[in-house]
Amino acid sequence: MGIVNIVKNVKLIHKDYVALVRVGKFYNCYGRDSYIISYLLNYRINIVKDNIYNCSFPQSAYNKVISILEKNKINYIILDKRNNYEVEEKSNNKNLNKYTDTYQKAKKKISSKMRIEKICRYLLNCNDETTIFEVEKLINERRKVQSD
């Protein structure tokens, strides 16, 4: 069974927890959890197989990540791949858990960021001067409206 499937099974039980999986010298999270980690720590989100989102960070950032999750009152669970995905650590804020609220904010922010990055990639590869001119025109019109 792959990591993604194991995390899906863990999330059935620990729905409102950020599940971090230790794999060697890195920690990985998937799906909704990757939005939260990316949002709180500005880490990059990647798409792995089957359009599953993934966010990872090195072991050296572990204490920073945990302290930010605790500061934001977000439940988390740490799994270790080496030990057959046993629970290594767990934090439960009970009814103070802000997992869902943080996810909603993260989803909105990260989705916008991904859309902007997609537009930037398109424009960087665009050789059509008319398209670039139209985008500049739109941006300049918006600036005029906002400054009035």
pLDDT confidence tier of residue 1, bands split at 50, 70 and 90:
low
CB 7 within 8 A of CB 32: no
pLDDT at 146 over 80: no
Check residue 141 and give its pLDDT.
Answer: 87
Backbone conformation region of residue 112, classed left if phi is above 0, alpha if psi is from -120 to 50, else beta: alpha
pLDDT in tens, 18-56: 999 999 999 999 999 999 999 999 999 998 877 889 999
pLDDT at 90 over 90: yes
Sorted by where each starts, the structural domains of the chain and their CATH numbers stand as: 1-148 (3.40.1170.10)
**pTM for this model (two decimals):** 0.85
Check residue 147 and give its pLDDT.
Answer: 63
CA distance 7 to 82: 15
Check residue 94 and give its pLDDT.
Answer: 94
pLDDT in tens, 113-134: 989 999 999 888 888 888 888 8
